[in-house]
Structure 1
Amino acid sequence: MKLIIFICFLFAANVVIGQTLVVYPSPKKGFKKESDIYLISITQNGQKKKAFVYKTKAGNGLSREWGRQQNTNLHFVTFSFSGIVTIEVIKLNSSASKAVIKPNRLGILTGKIIAQDRNRKLTFKLSKASKLAIEFDDDAKRKNPLIIFADTLEKIENIPNRSSNTYEVTETYGLAQLDASKNTVYFKPGIYDIGYWDIPSNIKQVYIEGGAYVIGYLNRSANQIKINGRGIISNEGYPYHYPSKFGVIDDNNKNWYLPINIKGGERHLIEGITIIESTGYNIELNAENSLIENVKICGFRFNNDGITIIGIGNTINNCFLRVNDDAIVIYASNLVINNCNFWQLQGSVVQFGWRPHSMSNIAISNCDVLYDEGYDSEGNIGFINAMNHQKANDRTTVQNVSISNVYFDTPIIRFLDIRGERLSTIPTQIPNINQPPWVFKDFKFSNIFFSQNTAVKPLIYLHGFSTEYPLLNFVFQNIYFNKKKLEQKLKSFRKFVAI
């Protein structure tokens, strides 16, 4: 009997360990958010699997809520793999003759687009995990773009073993009555409207399996938590700036619920999930020595900031952020941002300062800006921006910042915009002459690759607070335009600079 059990265990283990392609099911049969434009299948070792393609869409209500995103759609698919796969995309009722796959530097070659009656078929190979934006030439305004999230296989240690300590969600009311002996909450494929959930301190992991669609808001205080999986968190059906009353513009962001809000503690992990249709900000992590990895954010609304990061020793790695405000807002030190893709609808990619906070030792590297649709060159815009809108009650110093290996697949209005003299438009927050300034110093930019110029200048806008408090030691090395290195030296700037 022991031998039979052992052999069965080995067989089961091999099925899991040997799996090199995983596609995820629809949350339910006839799910309303299935794409009506794209069909996708993935083939590996002669085995072809159909992948479920989601469609998320902006509304057509208040212009302040949706802005230029009104009636825009976004289609996306997630699968996990290792090895080499062939991806087949069929675009229904299409006249496309060409397609571009971004990031450009991946050099993914597409085969010829094949006409199939009124449809078009695109095929290409993929050999490593990537986050791809596919642009067909019959959708110039990008009203129905396609995103492919080709993930690595999940780590075994991140998948709950579904033991007696695991609560498998079947009815959401059970979340309010969790037994104290449970330490893991497991969302299987399905649809769950959980509302606002204050995660109990005994819960150490919230696992959202691929195919699970969780509607609501996750809040956690202090205790270490792991929120991961390949499923989706959505704010579908909740009003703008919830819990603000529907139709009322409430700019008090302290009251807004977030899809994920972690306050305090250390060694948290947010991994693998996709967040869509947020009613305000998406993620706020106020902690130490924590990791946000392989998170995908797809937003439409104004104030859809991607990640607000607060604390010391945190890392944001391998994330995709398509947001309609700042992608990453920093109030942190000893921070690493690496290998992220950005699709900027407006706002800045990295925002260094809405309110005063001293920060140091920040490294940003290996990032791709796929699109930047910003249009206001005088406000919150650019890859790096510091708005300085709130008065500094104490002297604020931002220092020791490294930005390297950044690639732009799109024209941009502004790369860098730091103005120490920029004043708040709010009367109660305008600094007076006796208040200490913001100080920015020791910024190094290296290996920056611009693909196209824009008619808007300057590309870099730097202005110190005053002659007494200038910007210090801004260094630029290896700057490229259309693969051609800019030969003239860019000096370290101490006063106003426009290039």
Structure 2
Amino acid sequence: MKIIAFIFINFLSIFMSFASAGENLVLYPEANLEVPQSDLYRVYLNDDKNNSLTIYKNVCNKYSRGMIGEEKYDDLPLTKFKDRSIHWGRFSFQGEVEVIVEVNKNITNKEIKIFPSRHAIKVKKLGANKFSFKLNRTGQFSVEIGKDGYKEVLLIFADPIENNQPKNLQEWKVIENANKSLSSSILGSDTSLYFKKGLHNIGVFKVPQNIKNIYIEGGAWVYGAFIMDGEACSNVKIFGRGVLSGGKLHLRESHMIEAKNGANGIVIDGIVIADYSFYAVRLLGKDNTVSWTKILGGWIYNCDGIAAYANSTIKNCFIWANDDNIKIYRDNIVVEDIVCWQLDNGAIFQLNWSNSVAKNCKICRVDIIRAEWESDRFNNGILSCRNSGGIDENFVFEDVRTDTPVTHIFRLSPQGKKSQIIKNFLFKDWNILIDYSKNKKNYFEGTKKTPLTKIVFENFKVNGKILNKENMSEILKTSILNCKKFEFK
């Protein structure tokens, strides 16, 4: 009977895989998950309530003195963001889809905005508590209702149709309702893990060196973290349409996905990383790829988004962070098609914290929905270099936009007594909004031995004005020290 059941499950998986390959819309209904869901939003697609999305809800952690993992200053963000919430849902599609949103309150006189604004998505109001909009492209979208709508934002993740889901489950270890004893059930001959739809709680899972594929099925909710430690744990792929949540880890218990000590070639694709309280993705090896990964629900400091070292690519991701959104610490890193939301700590792009060396990096098509800085401290800004002691050379930042005003852009003022080379930077096709009422500066401050050299601005707009030599001081409110060769095109 077990053999028959296994064959049936395998056949069903193959059938569903072929079926979904021809579909234009795939939903991931929850499977009796004991996971908080939204009491504010109801979302369905194509005017069909049978196409209802599961909308999850993440609420800012409640602060209590003496929390496990607590560090100094945790009370500050948890007090500041108290009662803030994120409501989010996801689906996969191709072609065009209409999204209908019902809100559990009257929104008659509220303006509705959908970011990124570059897509110019139009909203159609359908009543006192209902509206719709159409998507003809995949991506990550933020829906805000009214002036303070960002405090209870609705995030819609519209992924491409999967084309790499496992087909032959005979080659996979299929896992249902996993717990923290998962490691003991894995055989040396196992190479691939398949987390079925449903609830799992694996704790901090150290991936065995024989495991090279981890698939999280749409509708699967995995509490825990994945750690690849050592060169033998290279070339691991973590993918699917499911969720990896830190909701049952204590503060800073673990980075959510980490590769270290020579673990290279990690691939992360398609999953949601939710409810985290440390790094979301920390890949210290080379040759990594992070794509279509959605990161949300980090409220305390140390909630960094993505670090992926030399020769890595980060693309088509959404990153919510309360520390650095993306760290660019090694050579040949490519970042493209990213949507960012920054709380009040950290930078969108951090160049250096301690002796990093990065050359020949390219960043393009970045949409910053919000950056909630209230200060211009050393680690804030769209681009920051916090400490000295490293090298940043030959960078291109192209097509970077803000949807809402930020306080400042640049904090290139490395601290410390070491030299810091910042050389050959091109900022091309930027379109930035600044709130001047905050009276914050932009900093370009090198050292006497290593001044900032050849900083080039090409079609760089701030509040609609093209930056040039004559208006730079007025537009950017700059503090300039030990810099040479600014260029404007």
TM over 0.5: yes
The AA in structure 2 aligned to 1:262 is: A
| 1:271-290 → structure 2 map (5 Å cutoff) | 271-290=269-288
Going from structure 1 to structure 2, the CA distance change for 1:452 and 1:174 (only over 3 Å counts) comes to closer
1-side partners of 2:14 and 2:174: how far apart? Answer: 26
| 1:53-92 → structure 2 map (5 Å cutoff) | 53-62=55-64, 63-64=75-76, 66-92=78-104
2-side partners of 1:161 and 1:460: how far apart? Answer: 55
Aligned length in residues? 450
The AA in structure 1 aligned to 2:398 is: S
Going from structure 1 to structure 2, the CA distance change for 1:197 and 1:171 (only over 3 Å counts) comes to same
Matched with 1:15 is 19
* Structural RMSD (CA): 2.5
1-side partners of 2:196 and 2:13: how far apart? Answer: 23
Matched with 1:5 is none
* C-alpha contact 2:304 2:325 (8 A) present in aligned 1: yes
* C-alpha contact 1:319 1:341 (8 A) present in aligned 2: yes
* C-alpha contact 1:166 1:185 (8 A) present in aligned 2: yes
2-side partners of 1:9 and 1:380: how far apart? Answer: 48
The AA in structure 1 aligned to 2:175 is: E
**Tell me, what secondary structure is at the counterpart of 1:66?**
helix
* C-alpha contact 2:406 2:433 (8 A) present in aligned 1: no
Q: Deviations over 1:46-72 (max 9, x none)?
A: 795111000011122151462522221
For the pair 1:472 / 2:438, whether they are aligned, the reply is no
The AA in structure 2 aligned to 1:42 is: L
Q: Deviations over 1:87-119 (max 9, x none)?
A: 00111123353200001110001112511xxxx
The AA in structure 1 aligned to 2:451 is: P
* C-alpha contact 2:41 2:55 (8 A) present in aligned 1: yes
* C-alpha contact 2:224 2:248 (8 A) present in aligned 1: no
1-side partners of 2:334 and 2:142: how far apart? Answer: 24
* C-alpha contact 2:378 2:413 (8 A) present in aligned 1: no
| 1:18-167 → structure 2 map (5 Å cutoff) | 18-28=22-32, 31-43=34-46, 49-62=51-64, 63-64=75-76, 66-97=78-109, 98-115=111-128, 120-137=129-146, 140=148, 142-156=150-164, 158-159=165-166, 161-167=168-174
2-side partners of 1:495 and 1:371: how far apart? Answer: 31
The AA in structure 2 aligned to 1:462 is: F
For the pair 1:193 / 2:201, whether they are aligned, the reply is yes
The AA in structure 1 aligned to 2:403 is: D
1:179 Cα deviation from its structure 2 partner: 1.4
The AA in structure 1 aligned to 2:159 is: D
The AA in structure 1 aligned to 2:301 is: F
2-side partners of 1:60 and 1:17: how far apart? Answer: 43
1:192 Cα deviation from its structure 2 partner: 0.9
**So what's the TM-score if we normalise by structure 1?**
0.84
2-side partners of 1:65 and 1:111: how far apart? Answer: 35
Query: Equivalent pairs: percent with the same residue?
Result: 27
Matched with 2:426 is 444
For the pair 1:407 / 2:401, whether they are aligned, the reply is yes
**So what's the TM-score if we normalise by structure 2?**
0.86
Matched with 2:186 is 178
1:491 Cα deviation from its structure 2 partner: 8.6
**Tell me, what secondary structure is at the counterpart of 1:455?**
helix
* C-alpha contact 1:96 1:136 (8 A) present in aligned 2: no
1-side partners of 2:321 and 2:216: how far apart? Answer: 22
**Tell me, what secondary structure is at the counterpart of 2:150?**
coil
The AA in structure 2 aligned to 1:476 is: F
Q: Deviations over 1:126-152 (max 9, x none)?
A: 111021111101x61632111000111
For the pair 1:261 / 2:243, whether they are aligned, the reply is no
| 1:165-314 → structure 2 map (5 Å cutoff) | 165-172=172-179, 173-221=181-229, 222=231, 223-242=234-253, 257-263=254-260, 264-298=262-296, 299-310=298-309, 312-314=310-312
2-side partners of 1:14 and 1:207: how far apart? Answer: 17
The AA in structure 1 aligned to 2:143 is: I
1:490 Cα deviation from its structure 2 partner: 7.7
* C-alpha contact 2:228 2:263 (8 A) present in aligned 1: no
Matched with 2:315 is 317
1:397 Cα deviation from its structure 2 partner: 1.8
* C-alpha contact 2:21 2:162 (8 A) present in aligned 1: no
The AA in structure 2 aligned to 1:461 is: Y
1:268 Cα deviation from its structure 2 partner: 1.9
**Tell me, what secondary structure is at the counterpart of 1:111?**
strand
2-side partners of 1:369 and 1:449: how far apart? Answer: 11
Going from structure 1 to structure 2, the CA distance change for 1:161 and 1:65 (only over 3 Å counts) comes to farther
Deviates more, 1:140-149 or 1:192-201: 140-149
Matched with 2:4 is none
* C-alpha contact 1:165 1:181 (8 A) present in aligned 2: no
* C-alpha contact 1:165 1:184 (8 A) present in aligned 2: yes
2-side partners of 1:113 and 1:301: how far apart? Answer: 38
1:168 Cα deviation from its structure 2 partner: 2.5
1:238 Cα deviation from its structure 2 partner: 2.5
2-side partners of 1:12 and 1:23: how far apart? Answer: 13
1:407 Cα deviation from its structure 2 partner: 0.7
2-side partners of 1:441 and 1:459: how far apart? Answer: 21
**Tell me, what secondary structure is at the counterpart of 2:437?**
coil
